[in-house]
Chains A and B, each alone.
Chain A
Amino acid sequence: MAKANGSGRPSRLFRNLNAKIAAIPMILTAMVVFVGFSLWTVVYSFTKSGLLPRRDFIGLTQYERLWSNAKWLISIQNLVIFGACMLIFSFVIGFVLACLLDQKVRFEGVFRTVLLYPFALSFVVTGVVWQWILNPDFGFQSIVRATGWESFTFDPLNNGKIVMLGVVIAALWQGTGFVMVLLLAGLRGVDDEIWKATRIDGVPAWKTYLFVVVPMLRPVFITALVIVTAGIVKVYDLVVAQTNGGPGISSEVPAKYVYDQMFLNQNLGQGFAASTMMLVTVAIIIIPWAYLEFGGRKRG
Protein backbone atom coordinates (compact mmCIF):
# COMPACT_ATOMS: atom_id res chain seq x y z
CA MET A 1 0.00 0.00 0.00
CA ALA A 2 2.59 2.54 1.07
CA LYS A 3 3.92 4.08 -2.09
CA ALA A 4 6.70 6.02 -0.51
CA ASN A 5 8.81 4.08 1.88
CA GLY A 6 11.89 5.95 3.00
CA SER A 7 14.53 3.24 2.75
CA GLY A 8 16.97 2.61 5.54
CA ARG A 9 15.13 4.61 8.18
CA PRO A 10 15.66 3.32 11.68
CA SER A 11 12.18 3.33 13.12
CA ARG A 12 8.73 2.68 11.67
CA LEU A 13 7.33 5.64 13.51
CA PHE A 14 9.62 8.10 11.78
CA ARG A 15 9.10 6.62 8.38
CA ASN A 16 7.09 9.03 6.27
CA LEU A 17 7.25 11.49 9.15
CA ASN A 18 6.25 14.61 7.24
CA ALA A 19 3.02 13.02 6.08
CA LYS A 20 2.21 12.05 9.64
CA ILE A 21 2.86 15.57 10.89
CA ALA A 22 0.73 16.95 8.07
CA ALA A 23 -2.09 14.62 9.02
CA ILE A 24 -2.17 15.69 12.68
CA PRO A 25 -5.12 18.10 12.24
CA MET A 26 -7.07 15.33 10.54
CA ILE A 27 -6.19 12.78 13.21
CA LEU A 28 -7.10 15.22 15.99
CA THR A 29 -10.41 16.08 14.34
CA ALA A 30 -11.26 12.43 13.81
CA MET A 31 -10.23 11.16 17.20
CA VAL A 32 -10.88 14.11 19.55
CA VAL A 33 -13.91 15.77 17.98
CA PHE A 34 -15.72 13.01 16.13
CA VAL A 35 -14.94 10.09 18.43
CA GLY A 36 -14.06 11.79 21.73
CA PHE A 37 -16.78 14.44 21.78
CA SER A 38 -19.45 11.98 20.72
CA LEU A 39 -18.47 9.52 23.44
CA TRP A 40 -18.43 12.36 25.97
CA THR A 41 -21.96 13.36 25.06
CA VAL A 42 -23.18 9.76 25.23
CA VAL A 43 -21.60 9.28 28.67
CA TYR A 44 -23.02 12.55 30.02
CA SER A 45 -26.48 11.67 28.73
CA PHE A 46 -26.67 9.28 31.70
CA THR A 47 -26.06 12.08 34.22
CA LYS A 48 -28.12 14.66 36.02
CA SER A 49 -26.38 17.59 34.29
CA GLY A 50 -28.42 20.78 34.42
CA LEU A 51 -26.84 24.19 33.92
CA LEU A 52 -23.37 22.63 33.94
CA PRO A 53 -22.23 19.10 33.13
CA ARG A 54 -22.05 17.02 36.30
CA ARG A 55 -21.02 13.46 36.87
CA ASP A 56 -24.07 12.34 38.86
CA PHE A 57 -25.03 9.20 37.06
CA ILE A 58 -28.75 8.52 37.12
CA GLY A 59 -29.03 5.68 34.64
CA LEU A 60 -31.67 6.00 31.99
CA THR A 61 -33.72 8.68 33.72
CA GLN A 62 -32.97 11.32 31.08
CA TYR A 63 -34.17 8.95 28.38
CA GLU A 64 -37.36 8.15 30.29
CA ARG A 65 -38.04 11.86 30.60
CA LEU A 66 -37.20 12.37 26.94
CA TRP A 67 -39.59 9.74 25.65
CA SER A 68 -42.42 11.00 27.82
CA ASN A 69 -41.92 14.60 26.71
CA ALA A 70 -44.62 15.76 24.29
CA LYS A 71 -42.28 18.18 22.56
CA TRP A 72 -39.79 15.42 21.82
CA LEU A 73 -42.44 12.99 20.60
CA ILE A 74 -43.76 15.62 18.22
CA SER A 75 -40.21 16.34 17.09
CA ILE A 76 -39.68 12.69 16.18
CA GLN A 77 -43.02 12.46 14.43
CA ASN A 78 -42.23 15.60 12.44
CA LEU A 79 -38.82 14.29 11.50
CA VAL A 80 -40.38 11.09 10.14
CA ILE A 81 -42.97 13.02 8.13
CA PHE A 82 -40.43 15.52 6.89
CA GLY A 83 -37.88 12.84 6.08
CA ALA A 84 -40.29 10.60 4.19
CA CYS A 85 -41.66 13.49 2.12
CA MET A 86 -38.20 14.85 1.39
CA LEU A 87 -36.76 11.52 0.31
CA ILE A 88 -39.68 10.56 -1.89
CA PHE A 89 -40.22 13.91 -3.55
CA SER A 90 -36.63 15.07 -3.90
CA PHE A 91 -35.63 11.79 -5.52
CA VAL A 92 -38.65 11.37 -7.78
CA ILE A 93 -38.61 15.00 -8.91
CA GLY A 94 -34.84 15.12 -9.01
CA PHE A 95 -34.62 12.01 -11.17
CA VAL A 96 -37.36 13.11 -13.56
CA LEU A 97 -35.69 16.50 -13.98
CA ALA A 98 -32.30 14.89 -14.52
CA CYS A 99 -33.77 12.62 -17.23
CA LEU A 100 -35.48 15.58 -18.91
CA LEU A 101 -32.25 17.58 -18.92
CA ASP A 102 -30.46 14.57 -20.38
CA GLN A 103 -32.55 14.73 -23.60
CA LYS A 104 -30.22 17.08 -25.48
CA VAL A 105 -32.26 20.01 -24.26
CA ARG A 106 -31.53 23.48 -25.55
CA PHE A 107 -30.47 25.95 -22.86
CA GLU A 108 -29.60 23.07 -20.58
CA GLY A 109 -27.16 25.30 -18.72
CA VAL A 110 -29.85 27.90 -18.04
CA PHE A 111 -32.27 25.32 -16.69
CA ARG A 112 -29.60 23.76 -14.52
CA THR A 113 -28.55 27.12 -13.15
CA VAL A 114 -32.14 28.00 -12.26
CA LEU A 115 -32.88 24.65 -10.64
CA LEU A 116 -29.80 24.72 -8.47
CA TYR A 117 -29.55 28.32 -7.30
CA PRO A 118 -31.64 27.84 -4.13
CA PHE A 119 -29.09 25.27 -3.02
CA ALA A 120 -26.54 28.08 -2.74
CA LEU A 121 -28.74 29.96 -0.28
CA SER A 122 -28.86 29.75 3.48
CA PHE A 123 -31.68 27.78 5.08
CA VAL A 124 -32.50 30.97 6.96
CA VAL A 125 -33.06 32.79 3.68
CA THR A 126 -35.19 29.91 2.37
CA GLY A 127 -37.22 29.81 5.56
CA VAL A 128 -37.87 33.55 5.57
CA VAL A 129 -38.85 33.67 1.90
CA TRP A 130 -41.32 30.82 2.19
CA GLN A 131 -42.71 32.25 5.38
CA TRP A 132 -43.58 35.29 3.29
CA ILE A 133 -44.95 33.40 0.28
CA LEU A 134 -47.11 31.23 2.55
CA ASN A 135 -48.30 34.24 4.51
CA PRO A 136 -52.11 33.85 4.57
CA ASP A 137 -52.94 37.55 4.31
CA PHE A 138 -50.59 38.57 1.51
CA GLY A 139 -49.12 35.42 -0.01
CA PHE A 140 -50.30 32.44 -2.01
CA GLN A 141 -53.65 32.02 -0.26
CA SER A 142 -54.70 35.65 -0.71
CA ILE A 143 -53.75 35.60 -4.38
CA VAL A 144 -55.84 32.53 -5.13
CA ARG A 145 -58.70 34.12 -3.19
CA ALA A 146 -58.36 37.31 -5.19
CA THR A 147 -59.03 35.33 -8.37
CA GLY A 148 -62.53 34.70 -7.08
CA TRP A 149 -62.12 31.40 -5.22
CA GLU A 150 -63.06 32.97 -1.89
CA SER A 151 -63.11 29.81 0.20
CA PHE A 152 -59.62 28.66 -0.84
CA THR A 153 -57.56 27.85 2.24
CA PHE A 154 -53.90 27.00 2.28
CA ASP A 155 -52.28 28.32 5.40
CA PRO A 156 -49.84 25.62 6.54
CA LEU A 157 -47.71 27.86 8.74
CA ASN A 158 -50.63 28.62 11.05
CA ASN A 159 -52.14 25.17 11.02
CA GLY A 160 -50.42 22.66 13.26
CA LYS A 161 -51.75 19.71 11.31
CA ILE A 162 -50.10 20.61 8.02
CA VAL A 163 -47.29 22.90 9.14
CA MET A 164 -44.66 20.33 8.16
CA LEU A 165 -46.01 20.47 4.63
CA GLY A 166 -45.02 24.13 4.52
CA VAL A 167 -41.53 23.23 5.71
CA VAL A 168 -41.27 20.43 3.13
CA ILE A 169 -42.25 22.80 0.30
CA ALA A 170 -39.44 25.15 1.29
CA ALA A 171 -36.91 22.34 1.77
CA LEU A 172 -37.77 20.80 -1.60
CA TRP A 173 -37.30 24.16 -3.27
CA GLN A 174 -33.83 24.31 -1.82
CA GLY A 175 -32.72 20.68 -2.07
CA THR A 176 -34.19 19.06 -5.17
CA GLY A 177 -31.70 20.76 -7.49
CA PHE A 178 -28.88 19.11 -5.60
CA VAL A 179 -30.31 15.62 -6.08
CA MET A 180 -30.94 16.42 -9.73
CA VAL A 181 -27.35 17.51 -10.30
CA LEU A 182 -25.92 14.40 -8.68
CA LEU A 183 -28.16 12.11 -10.72
CA LEU A 184 -27.51 14.05 -13.91
CA ALA A 185 -23.76 13.66 -13.38
CA GLY A 186 -24.42 9.94 -12.95
CA LEU A 187 -26.51 9.79 -16.13
CA ARG A 188 -23.73 11.45 -18.10
CA GLY A 189 -21.42 8.71 -16.92
CA VAL A 190 -23.58 6.02 -18.52
CA ASP A 191 -21.87 4.49 -21.53
CA ASP A 192 -23.20 5.48 -24.97
CA GLU A 193 -23.12 1.82 -25.99
CA ILE A 194 -25.97 1.09 -23.60
CA TRP A 195 -28.15 3.61 -25.41
CA LYS A 196 -27.22 2.24 -28.81
CA ALA A 197 -27.85 -1.32 -27.72
CA THR A 198 -31.28 -0.63 -26.22
CA ARG A 199 -32.29 1.48 -29.22
CA ILE A 200 -31.39 -1.30 -31.62
CA ASP A 201 -33.46 -3.68 -29.52
CA GLY A 202 -36.34 -1.21 -29.73
CA VAL A 203 -36.63 -0.65 -26.00
CA PRO A 204 -38.47 2.62 -25.24
CA ALA A 205 -36.38 5.31 -23.56
CA TRP A 206 -38.39 5.40 -20.33
CA LYS A 207 -37.95 1.65 -19.93
CA THR A 208 -34.23 1.96 -20.48
CA TYR A 209 -34.08 4.65 -17.81
CA LEU A 210 -36.09 2.72 -15.29
CA PHE A 211 -34.75 -0.80 -15.76
CA VAL A 212 -31.25 -0.34 -17.17
CA VAL A 213 -29.97 3.06 -16.09
CA VAL A 214 -31.35 3.20 -12.55
CA PRO A 215 -29.68 -0.06 -11.51
CA MET A 216 -26.45 1.17 -13.08
CA LEU A 217 -26.66 4.37 -11.07
CA ARG A 218 -27.00 2.52 -7.81
CA PRO A 219 -23.78 3.95 -6.31
CA VAL A 220 -24.85 7.50 -7.18
CA PHE A 221 -28.29 6.91 -5.72
CA ILE A 222 -26.84 5.49 -2.53
CA THR A 223 -24.42 8.39 -2.11
CA ALA A 224 -27.18 10.92 -2.71
CA LEU A 225 -29.47 9.03 -0.36
CA VAL A 226 -26.92 9.04 2.45
CA ILE A 227 -26.15 12.76 2.01
CA VAL A 228 -29.81 13.77 1.84
CA THR A 229 -30.75 11.60 4.83
CA ALA A 230 -27.94 12.98 6.97
CA GLY A 231 -29.14 16.46 6.02
CA ILE A 232 -32.71 15.60 6.99
CA VAL A 233 -31.72 14.52 10.51
CA LYS A 234 -29.83 17.79 10.96
CA VAL A 235 -32.70 20.03 9.85
CA TYR A 236 -32.67 23.03 12.18
CA ASP A 237 -32.15 26.51 10.75
CA LEU A 238 -34.95 26.12 8.21
CA VAL A 239 -37.49 25.41 10.95
CA VAL A 240 -36.13 28.15 13.22
CA ALA A 241 -36.42 30.74 10.46
CA GLN A 242 -39.68 29.59 8.92
CA THR A 243 -41.87 28.62 11.89
CA ASN A 244 -39.65 28.66 15.00
CA GLY A 245 -41.33 25.41 15.98
CA GLY A 246 -44.83 26.86 15.82
CA PRO A 247 -47.72 27.13 15.83
CA GLY A 248 -47.34 26.02 19.43
CA ILE A 249 -44.93 23.11 19.29
CA SER A 250 -46.30 21.51 16.15
CA SER A 251 -43.24 21.96 13.95
CA GLU A 252 -40.54 21.14 16.48
CA VAL A 253 -37.67 18.97 15.24
CA PRO A 254 -35.05 16.99 17.23
CA ALA A 255 -32.13 19.30 16.43
CA LYS A 256 -34.11 22.23 17.77
CA TYR A 257 -35.11 20.29 20.87
CA VAL A 258 -31.43 19.66 21.59
CA TYR A 259 -30.50 23.31 21.16
CA ASP A 260 -33.40 24.55 23.27
CA GLN A 261 -32.65 22.14 26.11
CA MET A 262 -28.92 22.88 26.14
CA PHE A 263 -28.84 26.63 25.65
CA LEU A 264 -32.26 27.97 26.62
CA ASN A 265 -33.64 25.64 29.30
CA GLN A 266 -30.31 24.91 30.97
CA ASN A 267 -31.16 21.25 30.95
CA LEU A 268 -27.96 19.77 29.55
CA GLY A 269 -28.79 16.18 30.45
CA GLN A 270 -31.93 16.27 28.30
CA GLY A 271 -29.95 17.84 25.48
CA PHE A 272 -27.32 15.10 25.68
CA ALA A 273 -29.93 12.35 25.75
CA ALA A 274 -31.78 13.83 22.77
CA SER A 275 -28.59 14.31 20.77
CA THR A 276 -27.58 10.74 21.56
CA MET A 277 -30.86 9.60 20.07
CA MET A 278 -30.04 11.62 16.95
CA LEU A 279 -26.65 9.91 16.84
CA VAL A 280 -28.30 6.50 17.09
CA THR A 281 -30.66 7.36 14.25
CA VAL A 282 -27.81 8.42 12.00
CA ALA A 283 -25.75 5.37 13.02
CA ILE A 284 -28.53 3.04 11.91
CA ILE A 285 -28.36 4.63 8.46
CA ILE A 286 -24.62 5.16 8.20
CA ILE A 287 -23.09 1.98 9.58
CA PRO A 288 -24.39 -0.38 6.88
CA TRP A 289 -23.35 2.12 4.23
CA ALA A 290 -19.92 2.69 5.76
CA TYR A 291 -19.44 -1.05 6.00
CA LEU A 292 -20.10 -1.42 2.29
CA GLU A 293 -17.97 1.59 1.44
CA PHE A 294 -14.93 1.06 3.62
CA GLY A 295 -15.04 -2.43 5.05
CA GLY A 296 -16.67 -4.71 2.52
CA ARG A 297 -14.25 -4.40 -0.35
CA LYS A 298 -10.53 -4.13 -0.46
CA ARG A 299 -8.92 -1.11 -1.97
CA GLY A 300 -5.98 -0.82 -4.30
Chain B
Amino acid sequence: MADIAFDGPRGSKPRHRLSGRNIMIYGTLIVVALYYLIPLYVMVMTSLKGLPEIRVGNIFSPPVEATFEPWVKAWSQACTGLNCEGLQRGFWNSVRITVPSVFLSILIASINGYALANWRFRGAEFFFAILMIGAFIPYQVMIYPMVILLRELGLYGSLTGLVLVHTVFGMPILTLLFRNYFATLPEELFKAARVDGTGFWGIYFRIMLPLSLPIFVVAVILQVTGIWNDFLFGVVYTKPEYYPMTVQLNNIVNTTTGVREYNVNMAATILTGLVPLLIYFVSGRLFVRGIAAGAVKG
Protein backbone atom coordinates (compact mmCIF):
# COMPACT_ATOMS: atom_id res chain seq x y z
CA MET B 1 0.00 0.00 0.00
CA ALA B 2 2.91 2.32 0.56
CA ASP B 3 3.52 2.27 -3.16
CA ILE B 4 0.20 3.48 -4.49
CA ALA B 5 2.00 6.42 -6.02
CA PHE B 6 3.41 6.00 -9.51
CA ASP B 7 3.60 2.25 -9.88
CA GLY B 8 2.71 2.72 -13.53
CA PRO B 9 0.59 4.77 -15.85
CA ARG B 10 -3.00 3.65 -16.15
CA GLY B 11 -4.58 5.89 -18.74
CA SER B 12 -6.18 4.54 -21.86
CA LYS B 13 -3.84 2.77 -24.23
CA PRO B 14 -1.90 4.77 -26.81
CA ARG B 15 -2.93 4.02 -30.38
CA HIS B 16 -0.78 5.48 -33.13
CA ARG B 17 2.60 6.99 -32.61
CA LEU B 18 1.98 10.25 -34.37
CA SER B 19 -1.72 10.68 -33.86
CA GLY B 20 -3.10 14.15 -33.32
CA ARG B 21 -3.74 13.17 -29.76
CA ASN B 22 -0.11 12.37 -29.11
CA ILE B 23 1.08 15.57 -30.76
CA MET B 24 -1.25 17.51 -28.51
CA ILE B 25 -0.15 15.71 -25.36
CA TYR B 26 3.58 15.93 -26.00
CA GLY B 27 3.31 19.44 -27.42
CA THR B 28 1.58 20.72 -24.30
CA LEU B 29 3.98 18.93 -21.99
CA ILE B 30 7.04 20.20 -23.80
CA VAL B 31 5.81 23.80 -23.83
CA VAL B 32 4.99 23.64 -20.12
CA ALA B 33 8.33 21.99 -19.35
CA LEU B 34 10.14 24.78 -21.21
CA TYR B 35 8.24 27.39 -19.20
CA TYR B 36 9.38 25.65 -16.04
CA LEU B 37 12.98 25.45 -17.17
CA ILE B 38 13.35 29.02 -18.41
CA PRO B 39 14.01 30.61 -14.99
CA LEU B 40 16.75 28.08 -14.23
CA TYR B 41 18.30 28.70 -17.63
CA VAL B 42 18.10 32.48 -17.22
CA MET B 43 19.65 32.28 -13.76
CA VAL B 44 22.64 30.29 -15.01
CA MET B 45 23.16 32.42 -18.13
CA THR B 46 22.94 35.70 -16.25
CA SER B 47 25.34 34.51 -13.56
CA LEU B 48 27.98 33.72 -16.19
CA LYS B 49 27.93 37.14 -17.89
CA GLY B 50 29.76 40.31 -17.07
CA LEU B 51 27.71 43.39 -16.20
CA PRO B 52 28.38 45.23 -19.50
CA GLU B 53 27.15 42.24 -21.45
CA ILE B 54 23.96 42.09 -19.39
CA ARG B 55 23.27 45.76 -20.12
CA VAL B 56 23.39 45.30 -23.90
CA GLY B 57 22.20 41.74 -24.41
CA ASN B 58 18.99 39.91 -23.61
CA ILE B 59 18.55 37.56 -20.69
CA PHE B 60 18.08 34.47 -22.85
CA SER B 61 21.25 34.72 -24.89
CA PRO B 62 24.16 32.60 -23.68
CA PRO B 63 27.22 34.52 -22.49
CA VAL B 64 29.68 35.59 -25.18
CA GLU B 65 32.47 35.46 -22.67
CA ALA B 66 31.65 33.21 -19.74
CA THR B 67 33.05 34.36 -16.43
CA PHE B 68 32.90 32.82 -12.98
CA GLU B 69 33.70 36.08 -11.28
CA PRO B 70 30.06 36.75 -10.25
CA TRP B 71 30.07 33.40 -8.45
CA VAL B 72 33.23 34.21 -6.55
CA LYS B 73 31.86 37.61 -5.69
CA ALA B 74 28.50 36.23 -4.55
CA TRP B 75 30.21 33.70 -2.34
CA SER B 76 32.80 35.91 -0.69
CA GLN B 77 32.34 39.64 -1.41
CA ALA B 78 28.71 40.57 -2.04
CA CYS B 79 27.33 43.22 0.29
CA THR B 80 24.25 42.70 2.42
CA GLY B 81 23.92 46.22 3.75
CA LEU B 82 25.66 45.21 6.97
CA ASN B 83 28.87 43.76 5.67
CA CYS B 84 30.51 42.62 2.46
CA GLU B 85 31.39 39.04 3.25
CA GLY B 86 29.18 37.46 0.62
CA LEU B 87 26.96 34.46 1.13
CA GLN B 88 29.48 32.15 2.75
CA ARG B 89 28.54 33.09 6.28
CA GLY B 90 24.88 32.50 5.48
CA PHE B 91 25.71 29.13 3.98
CA TRP B 92 27.49 27.94 7.09
CA ASN B 93 24.75 29.38 9.30
CA SER B 94 22.19 27.43 7.30
CA VAL B 95 24.23 24.27 7.73
CA ARG B 96 24.47 24.88 11.47
CA ILE B 97 20.72 25.46 11.64
CA THR B 98 19.60 22.67 9.33
CA VAL B 99 21.65 19.73 10.59
CA PRO B 100 20.58 19.78 14.26
CA SER B 101 17.02 20.83 13.39
CA VAL B 102 16.57 17.93 10.98
CA PHE B 103 18.01 15.43 13.43
CA LEU B 104 16.05 16.62 16.45
CA SER B 105 12.71 17.12 14.68
CA ILE B 106 12.82 13.68 13.05
CA LEU B 107 13.85 11.92 16.24
CA ILE B 108 10.99 13.47 18.20
CA ALA B 109 8.37 13.17 15.50
CA SER B 110 9.19 9.54 14.74
CA ILE B 111 8.76 8.60 18.39
CA ASN B 112 5.51 10.57 18.51
CA GLY B 113 4.26 8.81 15.41
CA TYR B 114 5.25 5.45 16.83
CA ALA B 115 3.42 6.10 20.10
CA LEU B 116 0.35 7.22 18.16
CA ALA B 117 0.32 4.28 15.78
CA ASN B 118 1.17 1.44 18.12
CA TRP B 119 0.62 2.53 21.71
CA ARG B 120 -2.55 4.53 21.60
CA PHE B 121 -3.48 5.94 24.96
CA ARG B 122 -6.46 7.86 26.12
CA GLY B 123 -6.42 11.37 24.66
CA ALA B 124 -3.75 10.56 22.09
CA GLU B 125 -6.09 11.13 19.16
CA PHE B 126 -7.21 14.40 20.72
CA PHE B 127 -3.68 15.79 20.94
CA PHE B 128 -2.95 14.52 17.47
CA ALA B 129 -6.02 16.28 16.09
CA ILE B 130 -4.91 19.54 17.72
CA LEU B 131 -1.46 19.06 16.27
CA MET B 132 -2.92 18.57 12.79
CA ILE B 133 -5.21 21.57 13.02
CA GLY B 134 -2.35 23.56 14.53
CA ALA B 135 -0.33 22.94 11.38
CA PHE B 136 -2.68 25.32 9.59
CA ILE B 137 -2.46 28.17 12.10
CA PRO B 138 -0.54 30.99 10.40
CA TYR B 139 2.89 31.32 12.00
CA GLN B 140 2.24 35.02 12.48
CA VAL B 141 -0.22 34.16 15.25
CA MET B 142 2.36 32.27 17.30
CA ILE B 143 5.45 34.20 16.39
CA TYR B 144 5.50 36.75 19.20
CA PRO B 145 4.68 34.48 22.15
CA MET B 146 7.51 32.30 20.84
CA VAL B 147 9.81 35.33 21.03
CA ILE B 148 8.85 35.76 24.68
CA LEU B 149 9.36 32.06 25.43
CA LEU B 150 12.80 32.03 23.80
CA ARG B 151 13.75 35.22 25.61
CA GLU B 152 12.75 33.66 28.94
CA LEU B 153 14.82 30.60 28.11
CA GLY B 154 17.76 32.82 27.16
CA LEU B 155 17.72 31.44 23.61
CA TYR B 156 16.34 34.40 21.66
CA GLY B 157 18.71 35.31 18.84
CA SER B 158 20.72 32.10 19.14
CA LEU B 159 21.02 29.18 16.77
CA THR B 160 19.73 26.84 19.48
CA GLY B 161 16.53 28.87 19.72
CA LEU B 162 15.98 28.63 15.99
CA VAL B 163 16.59 24.86 16.06
CA LEU B 164 13.91 24.58 18.74
CA VAL B 165 11.49 26.62 16.62
CA HIS B 166 12.07 24.40 13.59
CA THR B 167 11.57 21.30 15.72
CA VAL B 168 8.28 22.57 17.08
CA PHE B 169 6.83 23.74 13.78
CA GLY B 170 8.04 20.70 11.87
CA MET B 171 6.26 18.37 14.24
CA PRO B 172 2.76 18.18 12.69
CA ILE B 173 3.74 17.05 9.19
CA LEU B 174 6.48 14.71 10.41
CA THR B 175 4.30 13.13 13.09
CA LEU B 176 1.62 12.54 10.49
CA LEU B 177 4.14 11.02 8.11
CA PHE B 178 5.51 8.59 10.72
CA ARG B 179 2.17 7.75 12.26
CA ASN B 180 0.74 6.80 8.88
CA TYR B 181 3.80 4.82 7.95
CA PHE B 182 3.98 2.85 11.19
CA ALA B 183 0.27 2.12 10.90
CA THR B 184 0.87 0.33 7.59
CA LEU B 185 3.47 -2.03 9.06
CA PRO B 186 1.96 -5.45 9.83
CA GLU B 187 0.50 -5.53 13.29
CA GLU B 188 1.63 -9.13 13.80
CA LEU B 189 5.23 -7.97 14.04
CA PHE B 190 4.34 -5.63 16.84
CA LYS B 191 2.24 -8.25 18.63
CA ALA B 192 4.94 -10.89 18.35
CA ALA B 193 7.49 -8.53 19.88
CA ARG B 194 5.08 -7.75 22.67
CA VAL B 195 4.59 -11.43 23.38
CA ASP B 196 8.34 -11.80 23.54
CA GLY B 197 8.37 -9.17 26.21
CA THR B 198 10.00 -6.37 24.21
CA GLY B 199 9.11 -2.97 25.61
CA PHE B 200 8.24 0.42 24.13
CA TRP B 201 11.79 1.52 23.32
CA GLY B 202 12.97 -1.96 22.39
CA ILE B 203 10.32 -2.29 19.71
CA TYR B 204 11.05 1.21 18.43
CA PHE B 205 14.78 0.74 18.07
CA ARG B 206 14.92 -2.93 17.09
CA ILE B 207 11.82 -3.38 14.94
CA MET B 208 10.31 -0.11 13.80
CA LEU B 209 13.51 1.80 13.05
CA PRO B 210 15.14 -0.84 10.80
CA LEU B 211 11.85 -1.38 8.97
CA SER B 212 11.23 2.27 8.26
CA LEU B 213 14.44 3.54 6.71
CA PRO B 214 12.60 4.72 3.56
CA ILE B 215 10.28 6.96 5.53
CA PHE B 216 13.23 8.36 7.46
CA VAL B 217 14.87 9.26 4.17
CA VAL B 218 11.64 10.91 3.05
CA ALA B 219 11.50 12.85 6.32
CA VAL B 220 15.11 14.00 5.95
CA ILE B 221 14.39 15.23 2.43
CA LEU B 222 11.29 17.10 3.55
CA GLN B 223 13.05 18.70 6.50
CA VAL B 224 16.33 19.63 4.83
CA THR B 225 14.53 21.40 1.99
CA GLY B 226 11.94 22.95 4.32
CA ILE B 227 14.42 24.28 6.86
CA TRP B 228 17.01 25.36 4.31
CA ASN B 229 14.31 27.35 2.51
CA ASP B 230 12.92 28.99 5.62
CA PHE B 231 12.99 32.77 5.68
CA LEU B 232 10.51 33.99 8.29
CA PHE B 233 11.92 32.14 11.32
CA GLY B 234 15.44 33.06 10.32
CA VAL B 235 14.57 36.75 10.27
CA VAL B 236 12.56 36.73 13.47
CA TYR B 237 14.54 34.47 15.77
CA THR B 238 18.19 35.13 14.92
CA LYS B 239 20.43 38.15 14.83
CA PRO B 240 22.21 39.30 11.67
CA GLU B 241 25.41 37.35 12.37
CA TYR B 242 23.36 34.13 12.40
CA TYR B 243 21.09 34.89 9.45
CA PRO B 244 20.51 31.83 7.25
CA MET B 245 21.33 31.87 3.56
CA THR B 246 17.84 32.81 2.38
CA VAL B 247 17.79 35.95 4.50
CA GLN B 248 21.24 36.92 3.30
CA LEU B 249 20.23 36.36 -0.31
CA ASN B 250 17.29 38.69 0.14
CA ASN B 251 19.55 41.28 1.75
CA ILE B 252 22.10 41.05 -1.04
CA VAL B 253 19.57 41.30 -3.85
CA ASN B 254 17.33 43.93 -2.35
CA THR B 255 20.05 46.20 -0.96
CA THR B 256 19.35 49.51 -2.59
CA THR B 257 22.77 51.07 -2.23
CA GLY B 258 25.23 51.08 -5.10
CA VAL B 259 25.04 49.53 -8.56
CA ARG B 260 22.75 46.56 -8.93
CA GLU B 261 24.91 43.65 -9.96
CA TYR B 262 22.43 41.34 -11.60
CA ASN B 263 25.00 38.69 -12.40
CA VAL B 264 26.14 38.50 -8.78
CA ASN B 265 22.53 38.39 -7.64
CA MET B 266 21.78 35.45 -9.91
CA ALA B 267 24.92 33.60 -8.83
CA ALA B 268 23.86 34.13 -5.22
CA THR B 269 20.37 32.88 -6.05
CA ILE B 270 21.69 29.68 -7.61
CA LEU B 271 24.02 29.12 -4.67
CA THR B 272 21.10 29.46 -2.26
CA GLY B 273 18.96 27.08 -4.29
CA LEU B 274 21.74 24.58 -4.82
CA VAL B 275 21.32 22.46 -1.71
CA PRO B 276 17.57 21.83 -2.08
CA LEU B 277 17.98 21.34 -5.84
CA LEU B 278 20.73 18.77 -5.34
CA ILE B 279 18.60 16.92 -2.84
CA TYR B 280 15.66 17.06 -5.17
CA PHE B 281 17.47 15.77 -8.24
CA VAL B 282 19.33 13.05 -6.37
CA SER B 283 16.30 11.82 -4.48
CA GLY B 284 13.59 12.65 -7.05
CA ARG B 285 11.28 9.72 -6.50
CA LEU B 286 11.50 9.77 -2.73
CA PHE B 287 10.86 13.51 -2.66
CA VAL B 288 7.72 12.97 -4.69
CA ARG B 289 6.66 10.05 -2.56
CA GLY B 290 7.18 12.12 0.55
CA ILE B 291 4.88 14.94 -0.38
CA ALA B 292 2.37 12.55 -1.93
CA ALA B 293 2.31 10.21 1.07
CA GLY B 294 2.11 13.07 3.52
CA ALA B 295 -0.85 14.60 1.79
CA VAL B 296 -2.83 11.82 0.13
CA LYS B 297 -3.09 9.61 3.15
CA GLY B 298 -3.64 12.44 5.59
Contact = CB atoms under 8 A, between A and B. Distances in A.
Given A26-B127, A241-B253, A186 B120 contact: no
Given A40-B145, A105-B25, A133-B38, A223 B298 contact: yes
Given A105-B9, A133-B59, A290-B132, A128 B269 contact: yes
Contacts of A227: 295
B250 to A, nearest CB: 5
B106 to A, nearest CB: 12
A157 to B, nearest CB: 12
Contact of B130 (A19, A23, A30): A30
Contact of A103 (B25, B291, B296): B25
Interface in B257-271: 262, 265-266, 269
A153 interface: no
B138 A234 contact: yes
Interface size class of A (residues with CB under 8 A): 35 or more
B128 interface: yes
A205 B253 CA distance: 48
Contact of B276 (A115, A121, A254): A121
A182 to B, nearest CB: 5
Contacts of B14: 103-104
A263 interface: yes
Interface stretch (A65-73, A158-166, A276-284): A276-284
Interface string B109-132: 001101110111110110111111
B158 interface: no
B156 to A, nearest CB: 13
Interface size class of B (residues with CB under 8 A): 35 or more
A9 interface: no
Contacts of B129: 290, 294
Contacts of B144: 41, 53, 262, 268, 271-272
B142 A33 contact: yes
Contacts of B25: 100, 103, 105
Interface of B is mostly: helix
B127 A31 contact: yes
Interface in B22-50: 25-26, 28-29, 32-33, 35-40, 42-43, 46
Residue among A19, A20, A268 with most chain B CB within 10 A? A19
Interface string A1-40: 1111000000010011011101101110111011111101
A220 B292 CA distance: 10
B152 to A, nearest CB: 12
Interface of A: 1-4, 12, 15-16, 18-20, 22-23, 25-27, 29-31, 33-38, 40-41, 53, 96-97, 99-105, 108-109, 111-125, 128-133, 135, 138-139, 142-143, 146, 173, 177-178, 181-182, 184-190, 192, 195, 199, 205, 220, 223-224, 226-227, 230, 233-234, 236-237, 240-241, 244, 254-255, 258-259, 262-263, 268, 271-272, 274-276, 278-279, 282, 285-286, 290, 293-294, 299
In the A-B complex, the 6 residue pairs with the closest CB atoms: A34-B134, A19-B119, A18-B200, A122-B229, A120-B280, A237-B231
Given A104-B14, A173-B36, A230-B135, 14 more contacts: A4-B120, A16-B119, A16-B121, A18-B119, A18-B201, A53-B148, A102-B9, A124-B229, A125-B249, A182-B296, A188-B9, A240-B250, A258-B143, A279-B138
